[in-house]
Amino acid sequence: FRGFHVRFQDVARGGIRIVRSRNREAYSINQRTLFDENYSLASTQHRKNKDIPEGGSKGTILLNPDAQEKSFVAFEKYVDAMLDLLLTGQSPGIKDRLVDRLGRNEILFFGPDEGTAGFMDWASQHARKRGAPFWKAFTTGKSQHLGGIPHDTYGMTTRSVHQYVLGIIRQLGLDEAACSKFQTGGPDGDLGSNEIKISCDRTVAVVDGSGVLCDPLGIDRAELTRLASERQMIQNFDLTKLGPQGFRVLVDDFQVTLPDGTLVQDGLSFRNTFHLNKMAAADFFVPCGGRPESIDINNVGTLFEDDGSTRFKYVVEGANLFFTQDARLRLEKAGVHLFKDASANKGGVTSSSLEVLAALSFDDGEFGRLMCRQEDGSLPAFYQEYVADVQKAIEANAAREFECLWNESKRTGKPKSILSDDLSVAIVELRKSLESTNLWDDLPLRHLVMREALPARLLKELGIDVILERVPQNYLKAIFGAYLASHFVYEYGTEPGQFAFFEYMSKYRAKAETTN
């Protein structure tokens, strides 16, 4: 195989992706574009990680043409190679020690990506065998018996997405129960099922892998919730619960006549293009699944009615890259309130970051007792309380970013899709600038910021002094910088006044003096 790893910050986290090739021609293309793809993925992740201490990173493993079925073997070798670089002088089978020219300990965190979701447990345990002191935090996306916090079980990504829905409702004085919604990504998926369970709107259409379910009067909420709880596709929906104008078309169906007389020739084509169909109309559109760039500049016109109005008033992009940027801007120009994926669906990265923090804070015994599923199948009380803290942090970060984007859009007239990128750049740049300041050396300020930034349940369990002693200093500094930078930008916007940061830090210093 051929592999790369790119990071944009000393402390960084991102997924490791397996890249497969259908034939030698595809391999040749993948080989030429591998580093560029890796770099772009890491850069995008860096902007998405704006609220958390880890910068963005990404790893890619391009399988050789004759090794397409050996993804795990390639992953094993990739992880070993990375550990060789991270653990100075501890490479099995190597006679001469690797030369360390950096002169300090490094930490990298891996997460699941395409083709590696089932490998995270092994990587964590292998790092432990290799003697890595950070083995507990080396990977996220682990099983609960190894201290992992599964995003789908606790609806981590959905909690962020739904805060944007609630923000729009709050700002415009809407009643969620009276709002109609169209959703791609069904009750069988992570985002789709949790969006159904967390909301109380009038969902009029759902598209998933099995087909299209639509009821203009609103799909029966109880039946939809049953499917979401059981993670079943809409093909299992009880059709007796549909209204007179409701219908279900499955991908294997042919020649189906809808209640309004429309003839559907082919269920698969109908499903694949239903998001462009005039029947897919609602107040809210919340994509929770679907192919990247499903709506681009060439087909975005189908979302407009003949009178120039749009079929959706509000869009919250839960699925990654469902819209292209050109399509987003076209809709925003027409008056649609649209929040893009990089802002809306960041809950998962926050959850993974706090999973890493717990792993770095506890010793091995505490970690097994407090963060891992026990032999009797139970989850420790601390784990459940810590997960609740993680959920609160996700919702608070999403609400802060929503308010900032909403207010900045009103103030500047800029599209929210552009402001979302501006916000990420502003936070990342400020974090970088803070690295060269002496703010960290101010002990009262350090303690105040860390008490605010760290989860309450973790502080209660260990205390601030133990956490500051155990967690690597470069990671603590990253928490410190990320917290100050994100909160400043969310409060003062992307174009703060000349003395805004001085004013912001003056409040903190005054509070630190009072507290200490």
The residues annotated as belonging to the active site are 58
Nearest CA among 277, 353, 348 for reference residue 319: 348
Rounded distance between C-alpha atoms, residue 23 and residue 13, angstroms:
31
Residues 6+ apart with CB under 8 A from 150: 141, 144
Angle at 512 between CA 511 and CA 516, to 5 degrees: 120
Angle at 416 between CA 412 and CA 422, to 5 degrees: 80
Nearest CA among 107, 274, 111, 298 for reference residue 206: 274
Q: Taking a C-beta distance cutoff of 8 angstroms, is the pair 16, 75 a contact?
A: yes
Nearest CA among 112, 120, 66, 59 for reference residue 85: 59
Dihedral angle over CA of 28, 32, 36, 39, nearest 10: 70
Q: Taking a C-beta distance cutoff of 8 angstroms, is the pair 484, 449 a contact?
A: yes
Rounded distance between C-alpha atoms, residue 401 and residue 378, angstroms:
36
DSSP 98: P
Dihedral sign for Cα atoms in the order 449, 455, 460, 461: negative
Phi (first) and psi of residue 91, to 5 degrees: -100, 110
Helix (H) or strand (E) holding 2: strand 2-7
Residues 473-482, buried b or exposed e (16+ Cβ, 10 A)?
Answer: eebbbbbbbb
Rounded distance between C-alpha atoms, residue 293 and residue 503, angstroms:
42
